[in-house]
A and B are shown apart, each in its own frame.
Chain A
Amino acid sequence: MTPRAEPNSHPVWPATLVPIAAAIGVFGMLYGAAAQPIFGTWLTLFSSVVIFSGTVQFSMVGLLAAGAGPVAVLWAVFVVNIRNFALGAAVRPHLLGGDLRRMLISWFLIDETVGLALAAPSQADRTLLRSGVVAYLAWVSGTAVGAAGGAAVALQGLASAVFPVLFVGLAALMVRSATGLARAGAGAAVTLVLLFILPGLAGLAPILGGVVAALPGAGGE
């Protein structure tokens, strides 16, 4: 499929990646500190090297700490990962190359990198790869520091603030019309409602909110 080049592509500058990588690194430290008592130092580091998903890893550790068994953990991981289908569907039309290339680059498919890639759709491949490598290194090195006993509590507040700000900025880049703005507002509202009424599926709420608001007729169209 030919990628859709858009005239108003916003290139992702290294300066944009710095606060995102720093926030990911801080959360990596928090994950490392949380997982170390469960897995030990080396397996905690191994988990970040081979999984590379904050949502999945925090869910896994939270369930194990609460006494859940492997089957419950694997089911939760499957449910949380359903979000990847929506992320992949959104970014796939902009990815160049064949199956092998897309298979390799899919390693970096996380919320933040997909958002940055969609912000610059004419260079989505490069952005996904570049931001993915930065995010991966930040996540793994943050985990290593946290697993080794490093404290990140002082930075947790700032790191927590960076992610909603990042997604606000990405949503603003994607809005190109009043209808698009209405859809964004509808998605946010649906997500908030879902978080209240289906707390057990909190990880899926933003994906469901985003997809529901994109349906024909939603957002005032």
Chain B
Amino acid sequence: MESWPPFPELAVSDLALLVMVAAITYLSRAAAVVLFPSARGELLALVGRIPAPLFASLAVFAFVGDDVVLPEASTIAAVFAALLVTPKRSLGLTLAAGIAGFVVVELVRLM
């Protein structure tokens, strides 16, 4: 690992860009839980239905990536193992099964 360089003179344009990116990111988070009105009625019901499909969608996105390609065999095994234990509805068990699936395939590859 390289040693850290001395603190440099800041590149103002880069610094300004990062500050603006940070501001947009934080304001979008704060707006979502502070500025926007609370959901009521049918909108509240809709919001209550979002988590399951949202996380299933994020799982697909994390699985295939933004270039939509099949991942490594070990990642496929990890997700398959995780899916097998989903009826138990335990996040810890799902993570453990996923990591175990990944490790098994990696070990088979090494043999």
Contact = CB atoms under 8 A, between A and B. Distances in A.
The B contact surface, by secondary structure, is: helix
Interface in A180-221: 180-181, 183-188, 190-192, 195-196, 199, 202-203, 205-207, 209-216, 219
A203 B57 CA distance: 11
9 contacts: A10-B90, A39-B18, A81-B25, A92-B32, A99-B34, A170-B55, A184-B56, A195-B66, A206-B58
A216 B18 contact: no
Contacts of B25: 51-53, 56, 77, 81, 84
A66 interface: no
B7 to A, nearest CB: 6
B10 A163 contact: no
Interface residues of B, number: 76
A196 B68 contact: yes
Interface of A: 1, 10, 12-13, 15-16, 19-20, 39-43, 46-47, 50-53, 56, 60, 70, 73-74, 77-78, 81-82, 84-93, 95, 99, 102-103, 105-107, 109, 111, 115-116, 118-119, 145, 148-150, 157-158, 160-176, 180-181, 183-188, 190-192, 195-196, 199, 202-203, 205-207, 209-216, 219
Given A158-B102, A192-B60, A184 B52 contact: yes
A161 B50 contact: no
B33 A213 contact: no
Contact of B56 (A13, A163, A171): A171
Contacts of A163: 62
Contacts of B58: 111, 115, 167, 170, 206, 210
A210 B50 contact: yes
